[in-house]
Structure 1
Amino acid sequence: MIKQSYSYTDQEQVIWTTLYSRIIQFLPETADDMVLQGIKRIGFPADQIPDFEDLNKKIKTFSDWEIVPLENMVEDKEFIGMLASKKYPCRTWIRSLEQTEQEEDVYDIFHDVIGHTPLLTIPSYCEYLTGLGKLALEYLENDNAISLLKRVYWHSIQFGIKASKQTLKIYGAHLLSSRSETAYSLSAGVPKYDFNVAKMMETPYIKNRFQERYFVINNYEELFNSLDLVKKELKNRI
C-alpha cells in the first residue's frame, strides 16, 4: 500500500485550490457525463493536494487499477510495463505560481490526478488502457511499433473527445486539465474525425501546442473493442 510521504508548501496548496476551482467550474459544460461521475466518485479535495493512499482506496472500489506517485515520469518501457500491470504513474510535484497565473498546460500532479483518475472508474476504459499496455509489451524492442502505439495512446487517452447527446464532450486527460485546448478542440472548424485507428497511427502527436486533429468515440466500449484492430493495423505497418 502506498504511504503518503510528500509535504507541500502553503503556496502549493493554494495553487492546487486555484487550479481545481477553475477547472471544476469549466468541466460541467465540456466534459463527458461519465468523467463528471468519475470526479464525483473520487471526491477530490478542493482545498488541498490529494493524498495518494486515499485516492487509491477510492479507485479500488471501481477498478483494480492504482496510481503510483513518482517524482518524474518514467521512460517508455517502464511506462508500458506499468500500464500492463494496471498501474498509472503520477507525478508528485505541482506547477509554479507563474505557470498557474499564465494558465500554462503542465504535466504535473494536477494533470495526472484530474486528467487520469476519473477515467479509472470506467471498466471498459480501464480494459482498453491495460490492453494497450499489454500489446506494447509484445513490441517492446520495436521502436516503430512503439511509436505507432504512442500515437494511438496520445489521440485517445490524452486528447480524446466523445459524442454525447448530439454534441461533443471531452474525456482525454490533457483536455480535462486544459481550459484553453478544450475550448479550441471543441470549436467549429477544428478537424475532428470518427475514431479511426489507421488515421490515428498516421497522425503525429504534437507537444507544447494544440493538436491539428482530434478523434471522437461514441462510447468507451468502442475503445476496448478497437484493440484487435489496433493489433491488426500494427502488424500491417511493421
Structure 2
Amino acid sequence: MTMPVSSQQKTIHEAALATSYVVPDVTSRKNQGLAHAEDYTLPQPLDRYSDQDHQTWEQLYQRQHALLPGRACDAFLAGMDLLPMGANRIPVFEELNEVLHQATRWRIVAVHGLIPDEVFFTHLSQRRFPVTWWIREPDKLDYLQEPDVFHDLFGHVPLLMNPVFADYLQAYGLGGVKAQHLGALPMLARLYWYTVEFGLLKTSAGLRIYGAGIVSSRTESLYSLESLSPNRVGFDLLRVMRTRYRIDTFQKTYFVIDDFQQLFAATAPDFTPYYEDLSKRPALGAGELIASDEVLQRGDQSDWSDTADI
C-alpha cells in the first residue's frame, strides 16, 4: 500500500537533478509581472497576499503548531517562540530579519520559487536564506511540486535561530559552490535532503524532528516518528552521500544525528577526497541497509512505494 503523499516539496537540488522539470503553472501565475534582481531576490510583495492566502497560512500554521510539541526538537520549538511568527497572517520578512540577524547574523530573502543552484549556494554561503514568497492554494494543502512560503519559512527559518545549525547551513552553502565545480552536486544534494530537509535527532526523550520537509508536513511529522515502515539509521556522512532518496512519497530511510555539532563537524573537512572516493562506489537505494549501518530501526517496508529513487 502506498501512503498518502506528504507535503514535502522539491528543493533546489531536485530541480537540478530532474531534467524534465518544468516551472509549475502556479509559480508563473503568482509571479506574473514581478521582476527579480540579478541574485533572483525581490522585495516581499505584501500587497499580493489575499485574505485566502492568510487563511491558508493560518490553517497550516495552527495544525503544525499543535502537532509538533513532543515531536519537533527543542531548538526548532525555541526558534518558533523567539520569532515574530504567528497564525494570524503570513509573516513580514523584514520583521523576522530584525530578530534573526541579531541572533545569528542570518537574513531571509524573498524569491519567486526555485532558483539556480549556484545562486542558492551563494546566498547560503553569505547567510541569506531564500524564501519563496507565495503560499500554496487551498486545494494543495498537503502537496505541491515546489517549496512555498510555508515550507520555506515555517519549516526552515526557526532552526536558523540556533547558532550551530546556522553555521552548518552556511558551511553547506560554501561546500555547494565547490561541489558544482567538481561535478559532485548529486552527492551533496543527498546530504541536504537527509539533514536539512528530512533529518531526525536523537534525544534523551526519544527521536525528534529537525528537518524542514518533516516539520512543515502534518503527515510526515507522524510517519517519520511513528511508522514501522521506514529504516532509521545513525548518521554517517559518507553513507548519507551515497544514498538516493524519495521525492514523491515518504522516505524509506531517515538518518539520525546525535546533535547539531555532529553536523557542523561533518562539514569541516575538505570534501574533495570524499567525492573522489564516492565516485568509485555505487549509489545505495533509498531503502537499502548495509553491514556498517547503526540500525536504530529496521523498517518493515509495509508502506514503501515502488516508484523510482532520485
Question: Which TM-score applies when normalising by structure 1?
Answer: 0.93
Deviations 1:60-85 (A, max 9, x none): 12111111101112111211111111
Q: 1:110 aligns with which of 150, 163, 180?
A: 150
CA distance in 2, matches of 1:229, 1:203: 20
**Residue 5 (structure 1) aligned with residue 26 (structure 2):** no
Deviations 1:17-56 (A, max 9, x none): 1111111000112100111001001131211000011011
Matching residue of 2:288: none
Corresponding residue of 2:85: 44
Distance 2:63 2:227 in 1: 24
Which residue does 1:178 correspond to in 2?
217
How far did residue 151 of structure 1 move? 0.4
Secondary structure in 2 matching 1:181: helix
SS in 2 for 1:19: helix
Question: 1:104 corresponds to which letter in structure 2?
Answer: Y
Could you tell me which of 181, 187, 201 is aligned with 1:148?
Answer: 187
CA drift at 1:225: 0.8
TM-score normalised per structure 2: 0.72
- Offset from partner CA, 1:139-161 (integer Å, 9 cap, x none): 32333x11100100110000010
Q: How does 1:64-83 map to 2 (within 5 A)?
A: 64-83=105-124
17, 27, 30: which one aligns with 2:71: 30
Matched-pair contact (CA < 8 Å) for 2:84–2:91: no
Q: After TM superposition, give the deviation of residue 5 of structure 1 in Å.
A: 3.1
The equivalent residue for 1:124 is 164
How many Å separate the matches in 1 of 2:160 and 2:241? Answer: 24
**Identity of aligned pairs, percent?**
32
Tell me which amino acid in the other structure corresponds to 1:83: L
Q: Report the Cα distance in structure 2 between the residues aligned to 1:233 and 1:192, rounded to whole angstroms.
A: 24
The answer to whether the 8 Å contact 1:73/1:89 transfers is no
Match in the other structure for 2:302: none
Match of 2:200 in 1: 161
Q: State the superposition RMSD in angstroms.
A: 1.7
What is the rounded CA distance, in whole Å, between the counterparts of 1:11 and 1:208 in structure 2? 27
Provide Cα deviations, 1:167-211, integer angstroms capped at 9, x if missing partner: 001000111100111211112532011111121111112212111
- Is the 2:179–2:188 Cα contact (8 Å) retained in structure 1? no
The 5-angstrom pairing of residues 87-98 of structure 1 reads 87-98=128-139
Tell me which amino acid in the other structure corresponds to 1:122.
Answer: N
Q: Is the 8 A contact 1:32 1:171 kept in 2?
A: yes
Letter in 2 for 1:174: G
1:124 touches 1:220 (CA, 8 Å); kept in 2?
yes
Matched to 1:67, the amino acid is: I
The higher radius of gyration belongs to 2
Q: Taking CA–CA contacts closer than 8 Å with sequence separation of 6 or more, which of the two structures ends up with the larger relative contact order?
A: 2
On the 8 A contact 2:44/2:110 being kept in 1, the answer is no
Contact 1:197 1:230 in 2 (8 A): no
Cα pair distance change 1:94/1:17, threshold 3 Å: same
Distance 1:230 1:98 in 2: 45
Q: Match of 2:119, as an amino acid?
A: E
* Shift in Å, 1:229: 5.3
Alignment of 1:99 with 2:136, yes or no, is no
